[in-house]
Chains A and B, each alone.
Chain A
């Protein structure tokens, strides 16, 4: 039976979290996760190795593929930072997807309302509106969480559906471009409202936003008192209160900033990539972010690396779609990877030791 699979073995607690395992487990998780998902690919009479090679080729095999991987990494970094910040305080914000959509909505509102503004004015205004709109979307479930302990996992997730439906309402309804041939898209943004791109690639200034956010969050979490408060609050609300920290205020603030970061991702997507608001602007960045944050062990710098890998996974996913694979393939791979990440965590804190049969483990 699985439950006593470990009998004969003893899990011995390590003195400290194993540094080696902290790197080995996430790396192995990706490999083993792909192997596990490969079983299901093989069941549909496809060779998983061929599929993975095709994905690798698509994502990293050409300059175009590489640049697209970076393009995808931008919203992933921002959403993963959002999720990781909240997770640090043991707040399960799984609403980054909806917060991204609301950020895109806020940014689009500015872009469409002030088409005559110059870039130096409109781009910061769009970023601010995206941050605030996403932030409010994160704050709304934070209020009942802070005051009445309402489970934020469920509320943040349900808010995703509401946010996406709101954007759909706009692009199918009042904001629909009359010249859009009936497609669910708004009118294109003015030149000024488009984030400049580097050279001929689609890599845009949003990358700088993402990297700046990484740096700021890294410093804040590591060197400021507030960063320390978040960590303590995550471990124990009682301890945080005892130490005179305002636990409720911190929940609200963390969720607002978390939502805001995901909102910025929405802004960079509409401003840098689609250059208008449209139906389905995210292929699930907000959900991928949960996996990335966990793989990176909530560390801002590690998030950048993992986001590039996952950006590659998305681009690879697009390139196999031309051979008839559904978009869902990528979600399957991501979910499988996450299984092994969470399952492997025990090996960071414990080591397996053989103690022989007969004694209970």
Chain B
């Protein structure tokens, strides 16, 4: 097989992986604070439709991006209020967010289906870096949002493992009572990171509707929000591994479309199943692995914090 085809596949794998990466980084922050948010799919959809609507209206994709981030954050705020203040069941609240987000995005997006977006995020070749053989075309010939996602991976890693606030965040997710006693405001911390997670999910949605597609289609996330939730588990709550995982998934996603070029004729329905099947398979493998290696979910994940029962 020609090298250039593989480079093209890997480069589109990065692009296809970007929305999953952004959403997974957001969910990672949320989960590290001890809150599970299964509403990623819904927040992404609302982000995607809001971003598209505003970009279409203003003619500015950047305004679309900002709007998507705000919309994702507002969606997450609902989850934060229900699960942190009202101590609601996090699984059900997250599912509600996904169902509501799917409905809301379909509702407001009805008139936008199929409209072309005149200005989208265009690839920007990074001077110098984009000329590196093999790596350049794979990693550095994309739009700015892809580069922002790289920066976010590095920033989050630094924040989580090198900054005091990051340590505080993890302590809130591991042992909120102890964190509370140490003077950390568990409630504020959880609010901030649930909302931050929603903002990243909104951004992930905007990536789909403003750069990847770029258009609006009902349910255009097609389960990517759920793959992102699974990815957080594979990545064992580590931003670097989330990057590798999303790259892998993006590549699998696009590989399907290239199968025909390789002379492999499989009905497209089976190719579309591939990302879901592989997500389940990897989830099983990784869960077995993490049990033996003792890298587990934040201890307090899914448990509402109640000061009076501390």
- Asked whether any CB of chain A lies closer than 8 Å to the CB of B87, the reply is yes
User: Cα distance A300–B87 when bound, in Å?
Assistant: 26
- Asked whether any CB of chain A lies closer than 8 Å to the CB of B226, the reply is yes
- Asked whether any CB of chain B lies closer than 8 Å to the CB of A330, the reply is yes
Query: Would you call B96 and A165 a contact (CB within 8 A)?
Result: no
Query: Would you call A342 and B96 a contact (CB within 8 A)?
Result: yes
State whether A150 and B287 are in contact (beta carbons under 8 Å apart), knowing that A335-B96, A342-B82 are contacts in the complex: yes
Query: Would you call A338 and B287 a contact (CB within 8 A)?
Result: no
Instruction: Output the least CB separation between A98 and chain B (Å).
Output: 10
The listed residue with most A CB atoms (<10 A of its CB), out of B87, B106, B280, B291, is B280
State whether A287 and B99 are in contact (beta carbons under 8 Å apart), knowing that A150-B284, A343-B82 are contacts in the complex: yes
State whether A335 and B42 are in contact (beta carbons under 8 Å apart), knowing that A148-B284, A327-B106 are contacts in the complex: yes
State whether A40 and B104 are in contact (beta carbons under 8 Å apart), knowing that A94-B95, A331-B99, A342-B89 are contacts in the complex: yes
State whether A3 and B95 are in contact (beta carbons under 8 Å apart), knowing that A162-B277, A335-B42 are contacts in the complex: no
- Asked whether any CB of chain A lies closer than 8 Å to the CB of B122, the reply is no
Other-chain contact of B267, A6, A157, A173, A329 (Cβ < 8 Å): A173
Query: Would you call A326 and B276 a contact (CB within 8 A)?
Result: no
- Asked whether any CB of chain A lies closer than 8 Å to the CB of B269, the reply is yes
B77-110 interface code vs A (CB 8 A; 1 in, 0 out): 1101110111111011101111111111111101
Instruction: Output the least CB separation between B185 and chain A (Å).
Output: 8
Task: Give every chain B residue within 8 A of A215 (Cβ-Cβ).
Answer: none
Task: Give every chain A residue within 8 A of B229 (Cβ-Cβ).
Answer: 154
User: Cα distance A328–B92 when bound, in Å?
Assistant: 20
Query: Would you call A345 and B107 a contact (CB within 8 A)?
Result: no
- Asked whether any CB of chain B lies closer than 8 Å to the CB of A301, the reply is no
Using a CB–CB cutoff of 8 Å, the interface residues on chain B facing chain A are 38, 42, 77-78, 80-82, 84-89, 91-93, 95-108, 110, 187-188, 191, 218, 222-223, 226-227, 229-230, 233, 267, 269-270, 272-273, 276-277, 279-280, 283-284, 287-288, 291, 307
User: Cα distance A325–B92 when bound, in Å?
Assistant: 27
23 cross-chain CB contacts under 8 A = A1-B188, A2-B80, A2-B85, A44-B107, A44-B108, A148-B284, A148-B288, A153-B38, A154-B233, A158-B226, A159-B280, A162-B276, A166-B269, A173-B267, A290-B95, A291-B99, A326-B106, A326-B107, A328-B107, A329-B103, A331-B103, A339-B100, A341-B96
User: Cα distance A263–B84 when bound, in Å?
Assistant: 36
Query: Would you call B110 and A328 a contact (CB within 8 A)?
Result: yes
- Asked whether any CB of chain B lies closer than 8 Å to the CB of A155, the reply is yes
Chain B facing A: main interface SS: helix
How many residues of A sit at the interface, in one of the four size bands?
35 or more
Task: Give every chain B residue within 8 A of A172 (Cβ-Cβ).
Answer: 269
- Asked whether any CB of chain B lies closer than 8 Å to the CB of A35, the reply is no
**For window 156-184 of chain A, which residues contact chain B by CB distance below 8 Å?**
157-159, 161-162, 165-166, 168-169, 172-173
- Asked whether any CB of chain B lies closer than 8 Å to the CB of A294, the reply is yes
**For window 116-164 of chain A, which residues contact chain B by CB distance below 8 Å?**
141, 144, 148-151, 153-155, 157-159, 161-162
Task: Give every chain A residue within 8 A of B105 (Cβ-Cβ).
Answer: 328
User: Cα distance A162–B42 when bound, in Å?
Assistant: 20
With contacts defined as CB atoms under 8 Å apart, how many contacts are there between chain A and chain B in the complex?
Answer: 166
Other-chain contact of B95, A168, A338, A346 (Cβ < 8 Å): A338
Instruction: Output the least CB separation between B186 and chain A (Å).
Output: 9
State whether A339 and B82 are in contact (beta carbons under 8 Å apart), knowing that A2-B191, A157-B226, A294-B92 are contacts in the complex: yes
Query: Would you call B85 and A5 a contact (CB within 8 A)?
Result: yes
User: Cα distance A166–B88 when bound, in Å?
Assistant: 36
State whether A328 and B96 are in contact (beta carbons under 8 Å apart), knowing that A169-B267, A169-B269 are contacts in the complex: no
Query: Would you call B272 and A165 a contact (CB within 8 A)?
Result: yes
Which residue of chain A has the shortest Cβ distance to B92 in the bound complex?
Answer: A342
Which residue of chain B has the shortest Cβ distance to A10 in the bound complex?
Answer: B308
- Asked whether any CB of chain B lies closer than 8 Å to the CB of A310, the reply is no
Query: Would you call A151 and B104 a contact (CB within 8 A)?
Result: no
Other-chain contact of B187, A3, A291, A329 (Cβ < 8 Å): A3
Instruction: Output the least CB separation between B113 and chain A (Å).
Output: 9
**For window 1-30 of chain A, which residues contact chain B by CB distance below 8 Å?**
1-6
**For window 311-336 of chain A, which residues contact chain B by CB distance below 8 Å?**
325-336
State whether A335 and B88 are in contact (beta carbons under 8 Å apart), knowing that A155-B283, A158-B279 are contacts in the complex: no
Which residue of chain B has the shortest Cβ distance to A157 in the bound complex?
Answer: B226
Task: Give every chain A residue within 8 A of B91 (Cβ-Cβ).
Answer: 92, 153
User: Cα distance A157–B91 when bound, in Å?
Assistant: 13
Query: Would you call A169 and B270 a contact (CB within 8 A)?
Result: yes
Query: Would you call B102 and A328 a contact (CB within 8 A)?
Result: yes
Task: Give every chain B residue within 8 A of A159 (Cβ-Cβ).
Answer: 276, 280
